[in-house]
Amino acid sequence: MQQLLLKPVSIYFLVYFRILFGLLMFCEGVGAVLIGWVQEHYVAPNFHFGYIGLEWIQPLPGYGMVFVYLLMALLGLLIMVGWRYKISSFLFFLLFGYSFFCEKTHYLNHHYLIFLVSGLMVLLPAHRKLSLDVRRQPELESDVAPQWTLWLFRVQLLIVYFYAGVAKLQPDWLAAKPVSIWMSYKTHFYVIGPYLNTPAMIWLIAWGGIAFDFLIGFALLWPRTRLVAFWVAFFFHIFNSAVFHVGVFPYFMIAANVLFFRPDQLSRWFFRKNVSSEVLQHVPVQQPHWQRQLGLSFFVLYLSWQLVFPLRHFFIPGDVNWTEEGHRFSWRMMLRTKSGSIYYKVRDAATQQEEIVNANTYLTSDQIRELVKHPDMIWQFARFLQQEYQEKGMEKPEVYAFSSLSLNGYPPHPIVDATVDLAAVPYHWGAKQWVKPRPVADGWPWKKRLAMAKEK
């Protein structure tokens, strides 16, 4: 296995992905500014929800984040042409990670994937062919890269697809409940709108999505099904782009799926270079032995973590769709729809004075929409209110949250215990006593159904 992963392959697959990745990141950065996404999520809010433990990472004041995104767009161009590639890709990784971790209101799995891939790009020799770096330093040029660099991308994509399928194995998705809600809002679409909200289309999306996620990665790996699988994935992602408007992600996945084809095919298709795999086997990889071994160790450790970490929600009590424990960073994409409302009550334990707090006073509409869905954000805002009222002169502020949440169209229920002073509760990972469980009648878990069937 070690010899196979260190085997030299044509480096053109890395060149191809460097060019496409840089171009897409340029479009992502400029597009996010032009459509006002950056201004809406970073400039407009007065309060930002950081990741717990990383709250010290805060957005730049004013229009600082606009310049960050424009700088990332510029770095995308530099990555594309391979100018000072190592520095440009490292700076892009840092800036994208900074923008990602300083505000979790708009957490998206594809942003997490871009963050990971941008970090991988820093480590890979994607600048050693057809780059301005090679023109400046010809000794950098190489025709080969170790095969593990190719399989690093392939396995990462396989994990993303497969775990998205695992996440769909739940009663609500199998009953097409979230899909039916989404499609009911798409009937106004030009031409395709009337067909989206039909029972046939709803069931096709729900069950076809499961089949696609479970099978597409393996179909791309198998040479006999690879071409058909690529075009199936192509139209799947184009459909998602047209119907769900998920930004650059569909095009990123299409570009990445090309990496499942052989490197010599990519060199011929995109660069008109006929590369012999047999000849390349005798071309040495321009890396010291210790660097090749270190890279191979990273390959094993990184992918092992990617295999294990997304499964953590299986070991946390409760329905992850309700509690959100283990949802982020787990490739759980487009699985549920939530809506609800929330308000807070702040009470001075010393004087018993009470005040109702409407979150609209401090948060944007997008933040409020996400606030009620995530217990960790409810807790964070409670701690903020505690500090806010202490600064206003309240001696011992207690903060209570009154929430109402509907999951996948079921009747609304409180998601947090309104009798618990959230300002006095320390945060810990895993299940929390102050988060109310999803009502059994809503979820109808399979275990409950089986138990009822046995009783009958």
The residue extents of the domains of the chain are 2-313, 337-455
Question: Residue 141 — φ and ψ, nearest 5°?
Answer: -60, 140
Question: Whole-number mean pLDDT of the chain?
Answer: 92
Question: Residue 430 — φ and ψ, nearest 5°?
Answer: 95, -165
Percentage of the chain with pLDDT > 90?
82
Beta partners for residue 400, in sequence order: 345
Question: Residue 413 — φ and ψ, nearest 5°?
Answer: -145, 155
> Model pTM?
0.92
Q: Tokens at residue 271, please?
A: 């660069």
Give 101's Cβ-side CA count (13 Å radius). 14
251-287: pLDDT as tens digits: 999 999 999 999 999 999 999 988 877 667 667 676 6
Q: Are 11 and 66 in contact (CB under 8 A)?
A: no
Q: How far apart are CA 6 and CA 398, in angstroms?
A: 60
- What is the DSSP track for 26-93? HHHHHHHHHTTHHIIIIIS-SS--PPTT-TT--PPSTTHHHHHHHHHHHHHHHHHHTSSHHHHHHHHH
159-218: pLDDT as tens digits: 999 999 999 999 999 999 999 999 998 888 887 888 899 999 999 999 999 999 999 999
320-329 mean pLDDT = 95
Strands 354-357 and 144-146: unpaired
Contacts of 5 (CB under 8 A, 6+ apart): 146, 147, 148, 151, 296, 299
